Structure 1
């Protein structure tokens, strides 16, 4: 009788221990929220607090598409996720609504500008100008309107510059974003945000395992997937990477030149069917040429006769590539000599 009692007692102890181990293990597993959305454009999931923040604080216009999975960043001690325009950070000990904050990417990327000069500071703030004494910069006109309408300090942080002219556009830097004014787009949003998330990923080498495309199957508790036989959706193009080169860097004053163009997407995959044009700038005037659409390798080329040019004067070639709603430009050149 005592043997049976001891045996039953041992079984009860083992079951209790296994229950505790199972409970501890389940707490260590990543409890995946059922509140998830899959972005086929970049093949990444956004879940839980990050998805709530995404949907309620501006969505695609403010953050762009996700570029990484959510992961624990040991350098920051935080769970983070990268998007085209931003980095979301989960601060679980913060009070609502500050559990999700955006990283100060402009500061981390090292963009620094002198404070506003005294004559640039308005005598008082108005609907046209606001001086931020915290960083010594002024936000004005369309930039101030967008700042106030699209989230203010929570989304953009304090200004880090005045508005300025860069790469063909008027822009302004904030701690968390860089605004670009596009007046040439009257029927759509004229204020756009720079892809600072992409720039940060490329500059600071975010681990590649977090950037790899995630499967599209339905997520279940514990971070697993179900429906393994589902077909992966086609990955959409969200960015064009264009490179151009010439056959001859130095040429005669006459002859034939050839321009080679390669077009890849945000995942460095070839883009087929892109429209490519170029403008060759001579001292005597511009010459414009169309290319054949890019092939399966994202490649196209165009040959042309060189116009007579002064020896030693660089001939610049502007290349413009359009695919769907995306446009990208690049330059190359050659030098007529003899």
Structure 2
């Protein structure tokens, strides 16, 4: 594995030198119109390619692309995204209306909450406390953070040093570091494949993982969505069912549309749920927990749907009863 990893790094380094034309003008990169294929069958192009090669070691920071570009959910709403082993790129607009690539905060999105703490001190000269979150980064993790432009590539730490899956790990806004003592390398710190994990757990669209050109979905015309809850009045702590129906402008069902549901609770929370893609009848059914809300409270539901680049939305609601 070490030999393969080093081989990929060398190939990638040569590729980057070709793109840069052998020069090092600050802030300047050259890209092709067609983009680049890193052997996974997924093209990285345009602004995404510029972001990819902007870091010292793209393979280590982001990994290889695992999808092509597609319209997906992000912190900025539905926008163009692309997944890599360790990251997700979101294409958004800056204040001047120009395209801008934002690396998603997958550390925050995948952090399951506090876990078992590692038996390691978080005080002393080999540690640094981050005022924004009150968390400390120590020892090899701090060295790795500083060596790889941590504020930009990782963000602030959001967890303590914890034990997960038999390893010492620490979550940051954009990444998760792991201590891998078995590695035959100068550093035993690696980044978790959060891009792949998040894609598998949340997006779950296996067709997106197929090499580009292996499937060309048909494009529906002006999709429309409708949402209906099974229980308009429901008790706290129970399970609610939401049915989403997607049709085109001719009232024909739209299959394989992606559906996101946001539950807006009275206390201001906006809980996201990834519903199954629509079936051949254009229907997606989501079962989700209501939570321990107070009686008589009204819960709003926002539904976002994408079908091959076209977007639509729907709303529904229910009331928590005694």
TM-score, normalising length: structure 2: 0.49
TM-score, normalising length: structure 1: 0.47
| Structure label with greater radius of gyration | 1
